[in-house]
Amino acid sequence: MPVVVSIIIPTYKRKKAVLKRAVFSALNQDYKDIEVVVVDDNYGNELNDFRKTTIELIKEIEKTDKRIKLVLNEMNLGGALSRNEGVKNCSGTYVSFLDDDDEYLPKKVSHQLTFMLDKGVNVSFTDLSIYNEKNKLIDRRNRSELTSMDKDYLLKYHIIKNLTGTETFMIEKSIFEKANGFDNVKVGHEFYLIYKLLQLPESSFAYYPFDDIKAYRTSEESISNGPNKIAGEKANYKFKKQFFKKLSLSERRYLKCRYRAVLSVSYKRRKNYFLFIFYLMFAFATDPIISIKEAFKHKK
């Protein structure tokens, strides 16, 4: 029996051309035993046109490719719970995730699945490249500094630097379900999923040090541009503080500085310039070098 990989794509207020790019990047994988589950979160009268666009696109694709499935949310759930709905409605042994404005390169699934089967693990993550609206590479996130897959080591690293984002994950469906999937939080649902997976005795992790994903950072509507970003970052930082006793002084300083730098940029996006300057100065006082690096990274 072939090993089926389900690619979950939640979609919300996305233009047809952009959603189509994401869906076809999944369908056009060189590994053919896949299913693509599109979860439409456009619930409500004001979103009818977006839902209609999604339905039309999927019906058009279904004429030539039956590996696609559409799930219509009966209420607006948000990205995290929409991904959970996708997993509930999928048939794959493994699940992978793709945002509706990003794309997989053609060998993403085959590379990662082969790697996982060779390693005998049920959770893996990869590198990630981020592009701007002009298709210019602006950031590349890799985990080459990792020296172990021991879960205690990974947990500490995860608290400090986050083993994310979502699109880099490939997870055995059964272990995803044991972790109860993504939590319904304002920001950082991928952080909490990895945290929960690290707590499971049955979980086993591996890092695939390659990049088969193109993520785009654009000016279109995003959680990073709204108040949820600020509330979510504050909640995440409060959660991480419980681990401070396990961290060195420099590691705690890094966490504090990064948190304040991210808040600074978030307040600037909200045009709250008083709090922008306040948190920027607070971050700079904590560690000037880290604050500049983090502020520059998150402003793009």
Looking at the chain, the whole-number percentage of residues with pLDDT higher than 70 is 93
Q: What is the pLDDT of residues 276-292, one digit of tens each?
A: 889 888 888 887 766 66
Higher per-residue pLDDT: 207 or 287: 207
Selected residue with higher pLDDT from 228 and 88: 88
Is residue 293 over pLDDT 80? no
**Mean pLDDT lowest for which of 23-37, 47-61, 218-232, 277-291?**
218-232
Is 263 a residue whose pLDDT tops 50? yes
Measured distance between the N- and C-terminal CA atoms of the chain, rounded to whole angstroms: 45
271 C-beta neighbours (distance < 10 Å), count: 7
Taking residues 232-245, report their average pLDDT: 93
pLDDT at residue 94, rounded to an integer: 98
CA 83 to chain centre: 11
Q: What is the pLDDT of residue 225?
A: 45
Structure tokens at 177: 């379900």
Is residue 164's pLDDT more than 90? Answer: no
Q: How many residues does the chain have?
A: 300
Beta-strand relationship, 170-172 and 123-126: antiparallel
Out of 88-97, 177-186, 219-228, 279-288, pick the least confident. Answer: 219-228
pLDDT of 25 over the 90 cut:
yes
H helices of 89-180, where? 108-119, 151-161, 173-178
Phi and psi angles of residue 124, each rounded to the nearest 5 degrees, phi first: -145, 160
The backbone torsions φ and ψ at residue 108, rounded to the nearest 5 degrees and listed phi first, read: -55, -50
Among candidate residues 296, 80, 108, 104, the one with its CA nearest the CA of residue 215: 104
Q: Work out the pLDDT band at 221, boundaries 50, 70, 90.
A: low
Between 159-163, 206-210, 222-226, 238-242, the lowest mean confidence (pLDDT) is in 222-226
Buried b (16+ CB within 10 A) or exposed e, 88-102: eebebbbbbbbbbbb
Q: Which residue has the tokens 């306040």?
A: 278
Q: Is the pLDDT of residue 222 over 60?
A: no
CA distances from 128 to 3, 48, 157, 162, 166 (A): 24, 33, 17, 13, 10
CB 131 within 8 A of CB 138: yes
How does pLDDT run across 123-154, given as a tens digit for each residue? 999 999 999 988 999 888 899 999 999 999 99
- Is residue 81 over pLDDT 90? yes
pLDDT of residue 49: 95
Q: Give the pLDDT score at 45.
A: 92
- Decide: residue 128, CB within 10 A, 0-12 exposed, 13-18 middle, 19+ buried: buried
Q: Where are the alpha helices (DSSP H) in 75-150?
A: 78-88, 108-119
262 CB neighbour count, 10 Å cutoff: 22
Q: The pTM is what? A: 0.90
pLDDT, the chain, mean: 91
Point out the least confidently predicted range of 6-10, 63-67, 164-168: 164-168
In sequence order, what are the beta bridge partners of 215? 130
In the chain the domains, ranked by start, together with CATH numbers, are: 5-216 (3.90.550.10), 226-299 (no CATH)
Q: What is the mean pLDDT of residues 5-11?
A: 98
